[in-house]
Structure 1
């Protein structure tokens, strides 16, 4: 941030993106619903699939994504629209949002995760993080 200020004279203001956790959940629901729809045409192949051949993250994703319904998808789209309006207000005051790409520093990859290539859901949890706007 200091380099951007020194080089370009950009001034910074700090803002909070409201409801960011809700936005993330709506995003996962939207992506999951679209994933389920996309793989629905392969349902006959999925029934023959040996689930033990999949990593735990893929098994969880297939189970969870299939549990979403149309009402939840529509609610997620309403949240998405509300987030668009909130972001328009932020961009009325700023040109750029500078923020970390993840909400935590890299965590230790344990041997089990290296063996299975599974996502560590406990360490990968969404947490609040600061957002700095220029």
Structure 2
């Protein structure tokens, strides 16, 4: 029992990463928690702008093209729709909330995908 307790204490102390600093930024929550799920068409996104406070979209990061595409699985190439093109269809993208669901995010591609997402934050 003592070994287990010691292991838990040591594990807890060494698993904390000082590089992960919590950001104390205020988040403006949408008025409604009713969002549209699975918006894969840029035209549907445009039509739903203002109808819902938020849209959920599944995306895939493509390391070959270093871009993010709207789709559920890597094999789905029927719609090569970049996320920036999807967002560009909205009149005022910054007034919407988004749940961007990465289907292939991993430690290997997270930094590249985040870099693209940060660039998308400037769209408006």
Q: TM-score range by the shorter chain?
A: under 0.3
TM-score by length of 1: 0.25
The structure with more strand, counted as a fraction of residues: 2
Q: TM-score, normalised by structure 2?
A: 0.26
Quick check: which one's helix share is greater? 1
Bigger RCO (CA 8 Å, 6+ sep): 1
